[in-house]
Amino acid sequence: MPVIRGSCHHDCPDTCVWEVTVERGRAIALRGAADHPTTRGRLCPKVNRLLDRVHHPDRLLTPLRRTGPKGSGAFAPISWDEALGEIADRLGAPRAAGRPEAVVQYSFAGTQGVLQMGVVAEAFFEAFGATGTHRHLCGVTASRAAADVLGVPFGMDPLEVRHARTILLWGTDTLITNRHLWPEIEQARRQGALVVVIDPVRTATAEAADVALQLRPGSDVALVLAMVHVLDAEDLLDRTWIDRHTTGWDALRASASAMTPDAAARHCGIEADQIRWLARTYATRRPAAIRTLVGPEHRRGGREILRAISMLPALTGALGELGGGLARSTQIYFDTALAVPPQDPNRPRFAMSRLGEQLTTPAGRATGRPPIEALVVHNCNPAVIVPDQNRVIAGLEREDLFTVVIEQFLTDTARYADIVLPATTQLEHLDLGLAWGHLYLSLNLPAIAPRGQALPNTEIFRRLAAALGLAEGNPWLTEDDESLIRRVLASGHPWLEGIDLELLRERAWVRLRVPEDFRAGLDAPPGARPQPLRLGALTVSAPADVTRSPERYPLLLQTRKQHIAFLNSQYGGFAAHRPPHDQLRVTLHPQDAEQRGIVAGQQVQVVNDRGCLTCVAEIGDRGRPGMVTMPFGWWNAATPENRGVNALTNPELPPDGLGSAAFHDTAVEVRPVEPPG
């Protein structure tokens, strides 16, 4: 039986390489590639059931046209010719009338493959002139914060943590969301490394660490300033390094002067001696690595939090040591090296988190452009994952909005579509895989033929381009997928030297040609000049929700990616991937539960001015008093209101309108459901 090699497409740092066994055209077995440096023969619980998803009876296998009210899920099959013709007519009308920006492209990272995530889609919408989005739902605030300090936000190769003696896992639940990095951390521990978790929640990773510091939500900047205070007061800094490689030390030192460990303890809710110990350990147990991902950025002060964290390795010189530095996303390495279609900087865009506002606000009052007449959604489930969910769904319910959704299943978003187009799964199409947790490119070969009439995203947009007359003369819209991979790899960048489609066919994966001694943040990438690291003053701010009234909403809600069997909203609608219970749960600290007369298993309502969710109470002390947690990504049927946790979350953005929304700065109250009268 043939075994076909491919790679995982999920929005996860690990990008595993796998092997698919095929019998009579059906995928019958899936396992991790033993020779891949991070996969090491192991896949995660969600991907272990991928074959069930591919062959699931609910797969969308034909184009569909809506036959009932929006949201009802009533559709009838139609042909591809009918679907493409109707879409071309409905999208083409505003374009022909000079309003191409009345059509909106809405997409994210439902697949991270270079081709299927977007090179053809981006070329299509660029040629069309449609409104796009700033894909800042997560990741970009962290990147911008790192750039504030490092200039270009290259982080260390996370696999280098095996050489560290101190590893700070800051606001990241590695065992759940980055599980293939954990063996590297364990190797470092066997060699004497100390693992410290800094997180407001006692996560699975915190319980597996050597030390866990459970600080108050959003108090990270105070902790960093107190660490700087200790490093300065106890002469644990290399002043020569600071003078040679940084600017802004005097301003940072001044802002840290009043943040003594005792003062920070009051902000952070941890002991002053713990703060002193952390600062001394970080400075003296070298090399010291900090691993952080996107969790801390989902606050009103998220950029300042991650800017502060990024200053620590810049201040101490950890960036210059093998096994030391800031291990963040590696996405920028691939973005720098690969060739992709050019983007028009003048193309209109809005922040992803403002979808509800954009769909429901009268044109011209807030948008400055014509009303949105059509919405095309691919690689995304905005009815579940976007904050201010009630406004998002109100927008999707508009009868005058023509909505196209490209999907594998009838998601909560697809239920509001006028036309649904069936997309292939990762086992059914060709793609080039990149990663944001390591430096290995991978090739995903199709293991089986597309099921039913499903098509790859690339082919769907090629056909739409042809139907709308956009394809001629644009190779990104006419070339097949193999040719596009060759084009993407032919950038001439030194980090791709010798890497082509043939090598990837032979090996399935290959590391970017980034030199092993490249010190991210200190060494300049090819073609750039080294720049000084930018320190500077830091500002402490408390978590804030613009709707917050401490009397009405005294609890702070944090939405967690806590389930190992589904990711974001992928798999969140499938019983086999959820916990045994089918209703959404909220976890309260015992102290908060007692004050409200709430017991475990009781029906409760979680409320604020944005929405109300009826769910089941869990009691536990993983969070701090005054804090409640709910899982992210459950589909809307998990509550009687047919809504998810984003019916409550804070959509507030940074002042410039760019970056991630303040999901975790959400004020709520939890109250028992009144017994029937």
**Judgement on whether residues 130 and 153 belong to the same structural domain of the protein:** no
565: domain range? Answer: 555-672
242-268 pLDDT, tens digit per residue, is: 999 999 999 999 999 999 999 999 999
Token digits of residue 140: 């970009």
The pLDDT of residue 285 is above 70: yes
Would residue 612 count as lying in a domain? Answer: yes
**Judgement on whether residues 616 and 485 belong to the same structural domain of the protein:** no
Would residue 364 count as lying in a domain? Answer: yes
**Judgement on whether residues 311 and 364 belong to the same structural domain of the protein:** no
DSSP 8-state secondary structure symbol assigned to residue 26: E
- Average pLDDT for 195-224: 96
Three-state DSSP at 42 gives coil
Is 268:274 a contact under the CB 8 Å cutoff? no
Q: Is the dihedral of CA 268, 150, 660, 323 positive or negative?
A: negative
Q: Which amino acid is at 92?
A: G
Place of tokens 């056909």: 463
Place of tokens 């319980």: 207
- Average pLDDT for 152-159: 94
Place of tokens 């069930």: 52
Taking the C-alpha atoms of residue 312 and residue 350, their distance in angstroms, rounded to an integer, is 33
Q: Which amino acid is at 93?
A: A
**Judgement on whether residues 145 and 129 belong to the same structural domain of the protein:** no
- State the helix-helix crossing angle for 80-96 and 457-467, rounded to 10 degrees: 60
The torsion of the CA quartet 318, 172, 663, 8, rounded to 10 degrees, works out to 110
- Average pLDDT for 465-477: 95
Taking the C-alpha atoms of residue 222 and residue 219, their distance in angstroms, rounded to an integer, is 6
**Judgement on whether residues 129 and 182 belong to the same structural domain of the protein:** no
- Average pLDDT for 272-276: 98
DSSP 8-state secondary structure symbol assigned to residue 465: H
Confidence of residue 676 (pLDDT cuts 50, 70, 90): very low
- The pTM of the full predicted model, rounded to 2 decimals, is 0.95
**Judgement on whether residues 219 and 173 belong to the same structural domain of the protein:** yes
- Average pLDDT for 561-569: 63
Three-state DSSP at 462 gives helix
Place of tokens 């409320």: 607
Would residue 437 count as lying in a domain? Answer: no
Is 450:81 a contact under the CB 8 Å cutoff? no
DSSP 8-state secondary structure symbol assigned to residue 337: H
**Judgement on whether residues 127 and 156 belong to the same structural domain of the protein:** no
386-395 pLDDT, tens digit per residue, is: 999 999 999 9
Tell me the HSE value of 580 on the side-chain side, using a 13 A CA sphere.
Answer: 0
Would residue 193 count as lying in a domain? Answer: yes
- The closest of 603, 614, 609, 610 to 647, measured between CA atoms, is 610
413-442 pLDDT, tens digit per residue, is: 999 999 999 999 999 999 999 999 999 999
Question: What is the residue-averaged pLDDT of the chain?
Answer: 93
- Residue ending a domain, among 456, 478, 510, is 510
The number of folded domains in the chain is 3
**Judgement on whether residues 296 and 202 belong to the same structural domain of the protein:** yes
Rg (CA), the chain: 25
Taking the C-alpha atoms of residue 96 and residue 88, their distance in angstroms, rounded to an integer, is 11
**Chain CA centroid to CA 194, Å:** 28
**Judgement on whether residues 305 and 369 belong to the same structural domain of the protein:** no
**Judgement on whether residues 261 and 173 belong to the same structural domain of the protein:** yes
410-421 pLDDT, tens digit per residue, is: 999 999 999 999
- Percent of the chain beyond pLDDT 70? 95
Name the most confidently modeled range: 352-366, 520-534, 544-558: 520-534
Where residue 607 sits, what CATH number does that domain have? 2.40.40.20
- Average pLDDT for 72-101: 97
Would residue 368 count as lying in a domain? Answer: yes
DSSP 8-state secondary structure symbol assigned to residue 423: B
- Residue ending a domain, among 455, 475, 510, is 510
Taking the C-alpha atoms of residue 344 and residue 132, their distance in angstroms, rounded to an integer, is 11
Where residue 390 sits, what CATH number does that domain have? 3.40.50.740
- Average pLDDT for 580-603: 91
Contacts of 111 (CB under 8 A, 6+ apart): 9, 10, 117, 379, 426, 431, 457
First and final C-alpha spacing in the chain: 64
Taking the C-alpha atoms of residue 114 and residue 9, their distance in angstroms, rounded to an integer, is 9
**Judgement on whether residues 324 and 394 belong to the same structural domain of the protein:** no
Would residue 592 count as lying in a domain? Answer: yes
**Chain CA centroid to CA 326, Å:** 18
568-582 pLDDT, tens digit per residue, is: 666 666 676 666 666
Give the pLDDT of residue 390. 96
**Judgement on whether residues 560 and 481 belong to the same structural domain of the protein:** no
Taking the C-alpha atoms of residue 375 and residue 485, their distance in angstroms, rounded to an integer, is 28
Would residue 414 count as lying in a domain? Answer: yes
Where residue 147 sits, what CATH number does that domain have? 3.40.228.10
| Cα distances (Å, whole numbers) of residue 557 to 344, 385, 448, 652, 657 | 38, 16, 43, 15, 23
Would residue 354 count as lying in a domain? Answer: yes
